[in-house]
Amino acid sequence: MDVRQRERANLVRLEGFVRESVLLRAYPHTMARRRVLEVLGEAGGLCTARTVNSDEVYILCTHGVGHYDPDDQPPFKDGKPG
């Protein structure tokens, strides 16, 4: 087995560990889970919305794509909030 084959086998084992252990233990809708999915190349199904907090740090949405439905607004009294 040459060096490339060993490296590939190590990457396959590492990916398996991440999928079976790290990903399963990451709580849904958290940045930790989002980071794991990004590393695995599976973050394409996540929302791309982001905002900036007061410390000028970007905060990314951790929900799946399509979770926001503008037609699904909460019912307000007389159509006005408050």
Q: How confident is the model at residue 50 (pLDDT cuts 50, 70, 90)?
A: confident
For residue 49, pLDDT over 70 is answered with yes
| Closest C-alpha to 23, from 9, 38, 8 | 38
State mean pLDDT over 55-69.
Answer: 83
3-state helix, strand, coil in the chain (%, to 5): 50, 10, 45
User: What does the pLDDT look like over 18-43, one tens digit per residue?
Assistant: 989 988 898 888 888 999 999 899 88
* Distance from the Cα of residue 63 to its chain's centroid: 7
Mean pLDDT across the chain: 84
Structure token pair of residue 43: 């973050």
